[in-house]
A = this chain, B = another copy of it.
Amino acid sequence: MPKRSGDGAGEVGAELDDVFHALSDPTRRRVVERLSQGPATTSELAGPFDMALPSFTQHLRVLERAGLVTSEKQGRVRTYRLAPEPLDRVDTWLAGRRALWTRRLDQLDALLYDLKEQQK
């Protein structure tokens, strides 16, 4: 898999790679789900999971690298927040696909309509 490159176009692609990769794991999706309800500390996030803390924080690091979450440390407590911008980027990519797909279905509808009219 290509990693972040220097040029602007490659950068966007590489970022989407990281975002989709981060979301391909159920633990990480559940963390995103939890954070969409509001900020939470590491231990609040880890609570529901039967997982060693180092493995869990590794998941948090993957989310942070992909830009999906940000974190802030106060004393010994680290608090995580959702950064919705990468989710918007996924959404934009999906919307582009849907636009083309829908246009194709519309063209198919039109074709079927014409065929039906010709048979009248």
Give the B-binding residues of A (Cβ under 8 A): 1-2, 13-14, 16-18, 20-21, 23-26, 29, 32-33, 36-38, 82, 84, 87, 90-91, 93-94, 96-98, 100-101, 104
Closest chain B residue, CB of each to CB of A104 = B38
Closest chain B residue, CB of each to CB of A101 = B36
- Residues of B near A93 (CB, < 8 A) are 29
Instruction: Please determine whether B1 and A37 come into contact, CB atoms closer than 8 angstroms.
Output: no
> With contacts A2-B26, A24-B24 known, is A37 near B100, CB below 8 A?
yes
Q: What are 9 contact pairs spanning A and B, CB under 8 A?
A: A16-B29, A20-B24, A24-B24, A37-B104, A84-B97, A84-B98, A87-B94, A90-B90, A94-B94
Instruction: Please determine whether B94 and A82 come into contact, CB atoms closer than 8 angstroms.
Output: no
Instruction: Please determine whether B26 and A13 come into contact, CB atoms closer than 8 angstroms.
Output: yes
Q: How far is the CA of A90 from the CA of B37 in the complex (A)?
A: 19
Give chain B nearest CB distance to A13 CB in angstroms.
5
Q: How far is the CA of A93 from the CA of B23 in the complex (A)?
A: 11
